[in-house]
Amino acid sequence: MGFSLDLEVIKEVIPDYQIEGSTEKVSITGISSISKAEEGDLSFLANPKYRSDVKDSVASFILLPIDYSDSSPKVNQLFIKTENPSRSLAKICRLIYGELFLKPPAGINPLASVHENTAIEKGVSVGPFSCVGEGARIGKNTYIESHCHIGDNVFIGEDCHLYPNVKLLSNCQIGNGVHLNSGVVIGSEGYGFEQVGTSHEKIPHLGKVIIEDDVEIGANTCVDRARLEETRIGEGTKIDNLVQIGHNVRIGKGCLIVAQVGIAGSVVFEDGVVVGGQAGFAGHLKIGKGAKIAGQAGITKNVEAGAFLKGNPALPVQLAHKISVLQRKLPDLFKRIAQDSVAN
């Protein structure tokens, strides 16, 4: 994998750890699942179904839940016990990430194009073939990779990461700690036309897109600008790849939206809505707090808070399952009814 992480550093990020066993190794040089781990690797028990694999693992370091007692460490093997191995793993991965994916030193790459009238704070890195338009502001330590377009008057917060080829069109606003994957388009023209006779005249879109703090948006996802005011993605919401967010949509805080979902214009999501892949939402709907929408569902009516819907037309998930079961019995039912008719 090409990294080496000092064991001491790891202990620092897991304040509550308990060590079992001993080793002469002082650094972690790989990370892998329990069954695939090799010497030098860190491994972990996050899913209880792999519990019995721990005793056979040759990983040099294993993150385990605090109550694990099924086996003891081998020679030169360390058990690192902690309340939440899964979260500890994520923290360690973050350290390794920094080693594997080196951020270039701060500064404007000589092959970038940055307008003279911009406000770029300390620690910002702008990659080759990226351009930053007039009036743009970029907060400290934000990392902009190659081929990005930062339009006129775009504001970007601190500690953001824009992967190669992110397009932020004019006037859009990005909060702090936002991650935008390659090919993301923020501020594309909304899909709105006025019918005039048999042709369709474009409705110009003057609004913007506002992305709040700690949002992540997946590769090639599009967020259209509002007609007049704003399209908004709420704090902490995580959006996957190839998702379509229409004009004037408002997504609440902490929502999860899986790949290839489509959300038509002016839909409002309250906080904590979870949407499975390829689901679709008709325009102007309100989706209540914490609602869950199954993958491929088609939502054409408002959804109440806490509802869990599935199918198209979407139904409460239990009813949808029941109907699915009964549909499979339709051939039998029709046969029986045909026989009854004959019998009568």
Chain residues 116-135 in contact with a copy of itself, contact rule CB under 8 A: 127-129, 131
Residue with smaller CB distance to a copy of itself, 22 or 113: 113
Site for a copy of itself in 132-151 (CB under 8 A): 145-147, 149, 151
219: contact with a copy of itself by CB under 8 A:
yes
Choice from 13, 204, 289, 304 touching a copy of itself (CB under 8 A) = 204
**C-beta contacts of 146-152 below 8 A and 24+ residues apart:** 151/187, 152/115
The partner residues of 154 in beta bridges, in order of sequence, read: none
DSSP 3-state percent helix, strand, coil across the chain (nearest 5): 15, 30, 55
Q: Which of 28, 174, 185, 251 binds a copy of itself (CB under 8 A)?
A: 185
Asked if 143 and 160 touch (Cβ cutoff 8 Å), the reply is yes
Q: Give the DSSP letter of residue 324.
A: H
The first and second tokens of residue 140, run together, are: 């400290």
Options 40, 82, 118, 214; binder of a copy of itself; rule CB under 8 A: 214
Q: Cα–Cα distance between 156 and 237 in angstroms, integer?
A: 17
Q: C-beta of 72: minimal distance to a copy of itself in Å?
A: 25
179 annotated active-site: no
Least CB distance from residue 296 to a copy of itself, whole Å?
A: 5
Please give the radius of gyration of the chain, using alpha carbons only, rounded to the nearest integer: 26
- Stretch of 6-14, 19-27, 98-106, 136-144 lying at the interface with a copy of itself (CB under 8 A): 98-106
Residues from 40 through 79 that contact a copy of itself (CB under 8 A)? none
Interface residue with a copy of itself among 11, 228, 301, 306 (CB under 8 A) is 228
Q: Cβ distance 78 to 20 under 8 Å?
A: yes
Q: Max alpha carbon distance in the chain (Å)? A: 90
Instruction: Examine residue 277 and tell whether it contacts a copy of itself (CB under 8 A).
Output: yes
Q: Binder to a copy of itself among 7, 58, 93, 317 (CB under 8 A)?
A: 93
Q: Quick check: 282 binds a copy of itself (CB under 8 A)?
A: yes
3-class DSSP assignment, residue 47: coil
The answer to whether 285 touches 267, Cβ cutoff 8 Å, is yes
User: By C-beta, is 27 or 188 nearer to a copy of itself?
Assistant: 188
Selecting among 115, 247, 284, 321, the annotated active-site residue is: 247
199-202/193-196 β-pairing? antiparallel
Q: Which active-site residues does the annotation give?
A: 247
